[in-house]
Amino acid sequence: MTHQQTAHTAPVEAWDAIADRYDKHVAPGEADVAAAGLRLAGLRPGDTFLDVAAGTGGLSLPAARLGATVLATDWSPEMIDRFTARAAAEGLDAEGRVMDCHELDLPDGGYDVTGSQFGVMLVPDQAQALREMVRVTKPGGRVLVTAYGDPGEFEALHFFISAVQAVVPGFEGPAEDEPLLEFQVADPDVLRQRLTDAGLTAVTVDTSHRERVAVRTGRQLWDWALGGNPVPGALVADLTDRQRDDVIGVLDGMVRERSDSTGTAVLTAPLNIGVGTKPAHSKE
């Protein structure tokens, strides 16, 4: 199956290209978000856990550390390579496989918990990806989807756009008339409905957690922004080296202004953490 690439959809090569930055600057900061999601999904030691659009393991590594047997899947070979290296270095019970989330190459009903953190949130055919997550989950098992909430409250994104605007007058950021796929379930009611439509019951969407991006320098925030998603990098692709250095300088000032007494600035974003149960009487 192939999926139409739209202007909003980064191709796999774009994710491959940011895998190193993702591994170093983004995934390690996701431990709290992952812990919240895995707790809400009721993951227990000994469970089988499938991670969909797993990246370098922001959710899979914490799941394996909790004692689950983990399969991490992602369409980007570069992401999976880094996940595999980290899992091996820690001696975790975890495997990585390259796979498109719209068409999981896995049998029906194999996993106690299937999760996706900042993954199926952003794919073009989300309904299909959610149906696949439900299909491969055991009857009575749970499906977890962690996604960003209201983009208006996404502080790191607003810091980044403001800093570029300070250096490049007229820079507007993402086009407002073309909403980013990344925020397609920013409304918790939409996420609840999509999980229900995918065949899940007892669906809950927790909005009490926030992502916390902790940085000490403008450079760290720049690396986080460009490492987390191909979109920011595409927006600043035409900047000169001088302009890029100036943006990082502006970010430095913004981070310093926000810093606490330890020199750390914590930028937050709202989260929707959705969990549903696959009906026990389901055939799959």
| Footprint of ligand SAM (CB under 6 A) | 15, 27, 30, 53-55, 58-59, 74-76, 79, 100-102, 117-119, 123, 228-229
We find the least distance from the C-beta atom of residue 159 to ligand SAM, in angstroms, to be 18
**Which residue lies nearer to ligand SAM by CB, 96 or 228?**
228
C-alpha 162/C-alpha 149 separation (Å) is 20
Q: Decide if 106 contacts 50 (C-beta within 8 A).
A: yes
C-alpha 109/C-alpha 245 separation (Å) is 50
**Which residue lies nearer to ligand SAM by CB, 113 or 167?**
113
∠ CA 156-159-164 to the nearest 5 degrees?
130
**Which residue lies nearer to ligand SAM by CB, 57 or 218?**
57
C-alpha 233/C-alpha 227 separation (Å) is 8
* 238 contacts: CB under 8 Å, gap ≥ 6: none
Phi first, then psi, for residue 142 (nearest 5°) are -115, 150
**Which residue lies nearer to ligand SAM by CB, 160 or 167?**
160
We find the least distance from the C-beta atom of residue 79 to ligand SAM, in angstroms, to be 4
We find the least distance from the C-beta atom of residue 26 to ligand SAM, in angstroms, to be 6
Question: What radius of gyration, in Å, describes the C-alpha atoms of the chain?
Answer: 19
Could you tell me which of 182, 183, 176, 146 has the C-alpha nearest to residue 161? 176
For the chain, the helix, strand and coil percentages under 3-state DSSP, each to the nearest 5: 45, 20, 35
Could you tell me which of 118, 102, 111, 167 has the C-alpha nearest to residue 136? 111
We find the least distance from the C-beta atom of residue 94 to ligand SAM, in angstroms, to be 14
**Which residue lies nearer to ligand SAM by CB, 74 or 252?**
74
We find the least distance from the C-beta atom of residue 117 to ligand SAM, in angstroms, to be 4
**Which residue lies nearer to ligand SAM by CB, 23 or 252?**
23
We find the least distance from the C-beta atom of residue 32 to ligand SAM, in angstroms, to be 12
